[in-house]
């Protein structure tokens, strides 16, 4: 039951992403309203899906909040991201941010599809049966969603504040956006490729991630992938100022972007702190160690530090504008790395890390 609603919401968000981007291009008010309606529709469906999944778990006799595995936590992340986004859209009365926030939801949803992670409601192994864990996941993802918004507004700020192609921040944001697009595209190609190859067979795509592109056994495809990526970075770099002009035409004020970036970080930072704390308490009740410097813990600490630098830079050193906007983007990159990179990249180097 719930999976139908999840499916509808996923499609809605991906459609909304396209509509928001075309709104950016065509600037028709009607398109903006349409984009918002589709997002709201997706959000309602997702809310129903989450509630259904919760009650389904009780029917299966497992009874627990839908927040305990990677699939559920990513779904919850998307849900909160959209919620926060809708609140901001309502408050600041503009659809423009949508073109920057919905792709983050798109990335998360694409990752869910790709990684072949289990969507079943599975009983919990003993270590995961903890209310601290549920609190930990819920609080962390609320924080991540707030940071997701600050990432989007920080990025827009950088775009609006760049003047020429030699500027450091210009190069920074064009590379960031390119990498984002490249990863999303590589995920998509992997997905299409393995769906075709495996022909309906269950297959963990995660273990073959990027094998259709960057890690392809064929050297030619490998090279082409890197060349295409370099090309994309170049194109974005060459024509990125057009995006700036486009954003400019919406007469967004950079002050408001800066303010939203700060406000969402001010919400995200205490949540991240509390998330790390509840995680530590959980570890302590389960194993008697609240901190063990494992890669995930360490990366969440690094994330925490980056946002601490943002706060001190802004409030004590009086950094304004570009410098702190760069930090808000880097902070969210660290968030993504904490959540996905540790599992995908570092676990490729070692034996630890699983899709649990």
Q: Return the one option of ligand HEM, other proteins, none that residue 327 interacts with (CB less than 5 to 8 A, by type).
A: none
C-beta closer to ligand HEM: residue 311 or 344: 311
Count of residues interacting with ligand HEM (CB under 6 A): 6
Tokens of 288: 């008697």
Tokens of 47: 């809310």
Contact 300, 276 (CB under 8 A): yes
Q: Which of 280, 340, 344, 355 binds other proteins (CB under 8 A)?
A: 280
Q: For residue 113, count other CB atoms closer than 10 A to its CB.
A: 16
C-beta closer to ligand HEM: residue 105 or 324: 324
Q: Return the one option of other proteins, ligand HEM, none that residue 138 interacts with (CB less than 5 to 8 A, by type).
A: none
Q: Return the one option of ligand HEM, other proteins, none that residue 234 interacts with (CB less than 5 to 8 A, by type).
A: none
Q: Which of 22, 94, 118, 313 binds other proteins (CB under 8 A)?
A: 313
Contact 136, 278 (CB under 8 A): yes
Contact 136, 51 (CB under 8 A): no
The CA–CA distances, whole Å, from 175 to 79, 103, 226 equal 28, 16, 14
d(CA 57, CA 62): 5
Q: Which of 52, 221, 308, 346 binds ligand HEM (CB under 6 A)?
A: 308
- Which strand (E) or helix (H) includes residue 6? helix 2-26
Interface with other proteins, residue 232, by CB under 8 A: no
The CA–CA distances, whole Å, from 287 to 68, 135, 273, 281, 282 equal 18, 18, 21, 10, 9
Contact 94, 19 (CB under 8 A): no
Interface with ligand HEM, residue 315, by CB under 6 A: yes
C-beta closer to ligand HEM: residue 17 or 327: 327
List for the chain the helix, strand, coil content (%; round to 5). 80, 0, 20
Phi–psi pair at 252, nearest 5 degrees:
-80, 140
User: Which residue stretch of 10-18, 178-186, 304-312, 345-353 sits at the interface with ligand HEM (rule: CB under 6 A)?
Assistant: 304-312
Interface with other proteins, residue 317, by CB under 8 A: yes
Site for other proteins in 122-181 (CB under 8 A): 123, 125-127, 129-130, 132
Contact positions toward ligand HEM, by CB under 6 A? 305, 308, 311-312, 315-316
Site residues (vs other proteins, CB under 8 A): 61, 123, 125-127, 129-130, 132, 266-267, 269-270, 273-274, 277, 280-282, 284-291, 293, 295, 298-299, 301-302, 305-306, 308-309, 312-313, 316-317, 342, 346, 349-350, 352
């Amino acid at each position: 039951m719930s999976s139908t609603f999840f499916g509808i919401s996923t499609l809605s968000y991906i459609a909304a992403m396209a509509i928001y981007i075309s709104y950016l291009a065509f600037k028709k008010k009607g398109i903006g309203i349409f984009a918002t309606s589709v997002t709201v529709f997706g959000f309602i469906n997702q809310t129903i899906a989450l509630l259904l999944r919760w009650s389904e778990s009780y029917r299966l006799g497992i009874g627990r909040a839908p927040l305990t595995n990677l699939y559920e936590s990513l779904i919850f992340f998307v849900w909160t991201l959209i919620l926060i986004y809708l609140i901001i859209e309502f408050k600041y009365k503009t659809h423009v941010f949508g073109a920057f926030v919905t792709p983050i939801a798109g990335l998360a949803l694409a990752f869910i599809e790709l990684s072949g992670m289990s969507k079943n409601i599975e009983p919990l192994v003993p270590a995961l049966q903890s209310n601290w864990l549920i609190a930990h996941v819920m609080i962390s993802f609320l924080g991540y969603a707030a940071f997701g918004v600050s990432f989007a507004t920080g990025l827009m700020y950088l775009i609006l504040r760049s003047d020429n192609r030699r500027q450091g921040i210009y190069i920074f944001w064009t590379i960031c956006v390119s990498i984002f697009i490249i990863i999303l595209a590589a995920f998509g190609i992997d997905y299409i490729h393995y769906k075709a190859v495996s022909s309906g067979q269950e297959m963990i795509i995660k273990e073959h991630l990027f094998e259709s592109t960057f890690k392809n056994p064929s050297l030619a495809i490998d090279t082409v992938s890197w060349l295409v990526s370099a090309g994309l970075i170049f194109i974005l770099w060459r024509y990125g100022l057009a995006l700036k002009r486009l954003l400019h035409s919406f007469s967004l004020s950079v002050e408001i972007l800066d303010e939203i970036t700060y406000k969402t970080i001010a919400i995200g930072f205490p949540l991240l702190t509390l998330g790390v704390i509840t995680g530590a308490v959980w570890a302590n009740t389960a194993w008697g160690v609240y901190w063990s410097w494992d890669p995930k813990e360490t990366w969440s600490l690094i994330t925490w530090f980056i946002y601490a630098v943002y706060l001190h830079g802004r409030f004590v050193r009086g950094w304004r504008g570009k410098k702190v906007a760069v930090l808000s983007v880097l902070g969210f990159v660290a968030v993504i790395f904490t959540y996905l990179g540790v599992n995908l990249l570092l676990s490729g180097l070692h034996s630890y890390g699983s899709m649990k």
